Amino acid sequence: MWFILLCITAVLCIAVFYFKLTKKNNYWKKQNVVQVSDLMIKFMSSNESMPEVVKKIYDEHDEPFIGMTQGYIPLLMLKRPEDIQAVLAGDFQSFHSRGIVINSNDILADNLVFMSDYQKWKILRQKLSPVFTTAKLKNMCYILDKCSRDFVDFIEGNQDMRQKPFNALYTYTTSTIGAAVFGIDTQTTNTMESPFLEMAWKTLKPSMIQNITILMSNVCPFLYKTLQLKVFGEYEEFFVGAVKKVLANRRQETVKRHDFIDICVELQKQGMMQDPNTGYELEPTDEILAAQAFFFFIAGIDTSANTMHYTLLELSNNPKILKKLHEEIDKVFEGGIEEMTYNDIEKLHYMDQVLNEAMRKYPPIGIIQRLCSKDTYLPSGVKIAKDDIVLVPVFALHRDDKYFPNPDIFDPERFSPENHSKINNYVYLPFGEGNRICIGNRFGRLQVKVGLARLLRRFTLVEQNITPTFERSPFGLRSPTDRYELKLRDV
């Protein structure tokens, strides 16, 4: 039955897609904008990741913007920083939506990453922002430090994990986010034994089903909604149930744990959330808060694991940079320090440069898209009509030699104090920018720095020379099978 339904759906999608696409194949040409063929067709017929497909288009056309379609929806790729700034910040009211189609019954997809309802997004963003203040991160640092120590012991005692370093990093980022959301169970002796690991692997690993689902939501949103498809339906019972259970237990406690659940309990105690400017109200139900907790997993696990992965890969390719980073980390541990504090992590300035360069060369999210909510004009003069999509080619910008000379060279000095300020605004976008910049970017950076500091205190990397080959991912840059050899240090 499901096979027949899938075949019928596929035929209908192709028919609708072809009919509507033919009506849009001159859409941008009529505005005197260069127009190329459909982006989704290019991606589905390619063996490359979407950011790579976009970069090829970017490199092939010396134009300030490039028109195309995504399904039957007109899409415009932006190149000029002033246009990108308008979309992400200056004209945010016209571009607040990511343009991701979700169904109302998909509980876990109703989160800050996917949400298009502006008023709902705004009030949740305001209420959850306090999770990432400096004070909260300082209080949360003990959780990350405990996880990092367990992580290094886990690698040292598990030879198989050294053969699959990305799997080890994925275990670390899953465990740290799980601990930061739900706290550390006093019964748990090893935080790397996370109950969320299997869910994370299944949720975030690119697959043909995932690509088809994304294609259907773009090509045939009517059918996508009619069939009530869910992106994360498989995990609802497990994850919502976990949140409900922890919330119920936490309401009985008086000790603060400084995690996300603490924030949830406080929000529910305060009752109905209200926007003082508009009067919009939203009840902080267990389901709404579970979706936001889930957002930390889908937004943070893969991106942070990839950032650590590519940092270690480039360090193994660049022994002089690795040596300099080792020296900085060793200074933090002078005097036999055991527990790392927030202030200790803040001393790792060269590590910041290394991470910034890793995220330039391999941005956590390779493309950013926004849906236009009302007719408007870009600073360049091009009209963007309601329901058009604009695309910011992050990976392509990060590898553009106009902004980053010798872009394929790994050079942390680009982000030294004297050089960082010279980088153009809105061409370096590892966390996005503007009103919808990644809400957890400071937590993500802290999580990565703590993990790398502990790992590179205990281990070094064998020199090698490797260039990654990326998976066929619709959003990011992934190469989980790439390896580097960790070797115990004598410290």
**C-alpha triplet 478, 481, 485: angle, nearest 5°:** 115
Residue 90 lies in a domain: yes
| Measured distance CA(427)–CA(255) in Å, rounded | 44
Let me know if residue 217 belongs to a domain: yes
CATH number for position 120: 1.10.630.10
How far is residue 26 from each of residues 68, 69, 368, 389, measured CA to CA in Å? 9, 10, 24, 16
Total domains in the chain come to 1
Residue spans of beta strands (DSSP E) within 326-462: 368-371, 376-377, 383-384, 389-392, 459-461
The 3-state DSSP class for residue 443 equals helix
> Is 488 part of a structural domain of the chain?
no
Q: Note the pTM of the prediction, 2 decimals.
A: 0.89
In a domain, 407, yes or no: yes
DSSP letter assigned to residue 188: -
Q: 193 lies in a domain?
A: yes
3-state secondary structure at position 476: coil
Dist CA 181 CA 95 (whole Å) = 30
Q: Which residues of the chain have pLDDT under 50?
A: 1-3
Q: State which H helix or E strand residue 281 sits in.
A: strand 281-282
Q: Write out the residue range of the structural domain in which residue 86 sits.
A: 2-481
Does any domain span residue 490? Answer: no
Looking at residue 9, its pLDDT comes to 55
CB contact set of 127 (below 8 Å; sequence gap of 6+): 267, 273, 284
Alpha-carbon distances of 188 from 241, 268, 373, rounded to whole Å: 20, 27, 47
Q: DSSP class of residue 93?
A: G
- Residue 402's identity, in one-letter code, is K
- Cβ–Cβ < 8 Å for 400, 407: yes
Alpha-carbon distance of 313 to 465, in angstroms, equals 9
Q: Is residue 465 part of a domain?
A: yes
Phi/psi of residue 174, nearest 5 degrees = -65, -45
For residue range 452-479, what is the model confidence (pLDDT) as tens digits? 999 999 999 999 999 999 998 888 899 9
Per the listing, tokens 């598990």 go with 158
Take residue 202 and report the two structure tokens written for it.
């299944």
Q: Is residue 50 part of a domain?
A: yes
Give the pLDDT score at 2. 44
Radius of gyration of the chain (CA): 23
Taking the C-alpha atoms of residue 251 and residue 231, their distance in angstroms, rounded to an integer, is: 31
